[in-house]
Amino acid sequence: MTGRDPRRSPEGNMTIEIAPEALLPVAFVFGLLVGSFLNVVIHRVPEGLSVVSPPSRCPGCESAIKPWDNVPVLSWLLLRGRCRACSTSISMRYPAVELLTGLLFAAISWRFGPTAWAMLYCLFGAALICAAMIDHDHQIIPDSISLGGLAAALVLVPAVTAWTGGDFVTALWRSSLGTAIGAGTLWTVAFVHARVAVAMGRTFEHWPGEGEALPTPREADYWLWFPGLGLGDVKLLGMIGAVVGPLGVLDTILASSLAGLLLGSAQALSRGALGRPFGFAPAIAVGTVAILFLPRMWLLQVL
C-alpha cells in the first residue's frame, strides 16, 4: 500500500469498535447497498447521464421503481427477475453486481478487520467493479473512475497512513511512484507492441483512419493512442499503483496478465464470442483483488 505489503494486516491501532461477529454481516449488507448504486453508475456513466437523477426506472415501461422493489438481490428474487408493472425481464446482472460487491466488502473486512484501510480498500474495490463492468460492455474506462480514483488515492492513502501512525510524505512518495510504475509499465508495453506491429506491416481496424497516414512522433496520437489497448487501462493501472504501491502494482500487472489469459481463453472458447472485443479492465480487477488476498509466493509459483 504505502511501502508495506498490502496483504499484511494493517499497521497502527486506529480501528473501529464493532463486535467481530457483526463485522462480516454488516460489511456484506453495506456492500449490497453500494452494489445497487454501482449498477446505476455502470449503466449511466458511459451514457453521460447523472447518477443522482432521475430515479431508477424500468427499461421497458419507464415506470419508476418503488423503494420496496429496489432492495438489493431480495427484490429481484421476489419479483422473479421481472418488473412489477409490465413484467419486463430484469437482467440477472443487477443482483450479480450487488452480490459481488457484498462478498468483496465482507472479504475485505475479514482480511483487514474494522480499520481505515478496510474502508479504503472497499472504496477502491467499488471503483474496480465499475471499471471492469463498463469496460466489458463498452471497451472504455471513464476518466471519472480512473483519474478520479487516482486523485482520491493520492490524497486518501497518505492520509490513512498518517492516521494509523505512518509518515504522510513517505506514503505520498510511494503512491506517486506506484502510479508512475503502473501507468508507465503498461504504456511502455502498449507503445512498443504497437510500433513493432506496424513496422512488421500489421494493419489495425480504425488505425490509422481511412486515407490517413500513420502518426509521426510530432503528433500526440503517436504517443497516446495504441491499437488494442486504450489509455483507460494505463490510467487504471496508475490508480491501482497509487493504492497498492510500487511493488504491489508490479504484482498486479503479473496477476492481471494471467487473469487476462484465462478470461480471454474462456471468451475465445465461448460460443459466438470469438472475435468479440475484449476489455482488459476485468482482468486488471481480478489481478488486483488476487494480490490483496493471496501471498506473494503463490503468484511467483504460478507464474
pLDDT at res. 281 = 92
Q: Is the pLDDT of residue 14 over 80?
A: no
pLDDT at res. 239 = 97
Mean pLDDT in the chain?
Answer: 83
pLDDT of 110-163, one tens digit each?
999 889 999 999 999 999 999 999 999 998 999 999 999 999 999 999 999 999
**What percent of the chain is predicted at pLDDT more than 70?**
77
pLDDT at res. 287 = 93
CB 284 within 8 A of CB 255: no
How far is Cα 79 from Cα 87, in angstroms, rounded to an integer?
A: 9
pLDDT at res. 80 = 82
Residue 232: pLDDT band (50, 70, 90) is confident
pLDDT at res. 1 = 46
Residue 27: pLDDT band (50, 70, 90) is very high
Domain residue ranges in the chain: 1-10+115-303, 17-103
Q: Is the pLDDT of residue 9 over 90?
A: no
Single-letter code of the amino acid located at 131: A
pLDDT at res. 207 = 56
pLDDT of 180-209, one tens digit each?
999 999 888 877 777 776 666 665 554 555
Please give the average per-residue pLDDT across 164-175, as a whole number. Answer: 94
The least confident of 13-27, 80-94, 249-263 is: 13-27
**CA-based max dimension of the chain:** 66
Instruction: Outline where the chain has alpha helix (H).
Output: 20-44, 74-78, 93-112, 116-138, 143-163, 168-199, 220-224, 231-269, 281-293, 296-302
CB 18 within 8 A of CB 114: yes
Grid cell, residue 106, equals: 465482507
Residues 6+ apart with CB under 8 A from 192: none
Would you mind telling me the total number of residues written for the chain in this entry? 303
